[in-house]
Amino acid sequence: GNYPNPFNPETTISFSLNPEDAEDAELIIFNSKGQKIKTFHINSSTLQSIYSITWNGTDNSNRSVSSGVYFYKMRAGARYTNTRKMILLK
């Protein structure tokens, strides 16, 4: 999950992965219209089981996004996907 939620100005998204799934894992943030806002590629070289990514409320072009509901989707390998909701309040 992510903490804090709602958040301003940033939130930390924590998740656990098996080492074999972390190799091609990514975390994608979408707005409420389903548009891709930000993509994080997971650094699997550290071989850890718990990962944390901090999102500062910016898109892939480093522009601040507006207040609202966002979704983050974790994809890891062919076997694992998970989607959760978060709220940015400015």
pTM of the predicted structure, to 2 decimals: 0.89
Q: Is the pLDDT of residue 7 over 90?
A: yes
- Tell me the CA distances in angstroms from 47 to 22, 44, 60, 61, one per residue in order: 8, 6, 26, 29
The 10s digit of each residue's pLDDT in 42-55 is: 876 666 778 899 99
Assigned CATH for 2-88: 2.60.40.4070
Distance (Å, rounded) from C-alpha 25 to C-alpha 68?
A: 26
The 10s digit of each residue's pLDDT in 19-76 is: 777 778 899 999 999 999 999 998 766 667 788 999 999 999 999 999 999 999 999 8
> Domain coordinates of the chain in residue numbers?
2-88
More confident residue, 54 or 90: 54
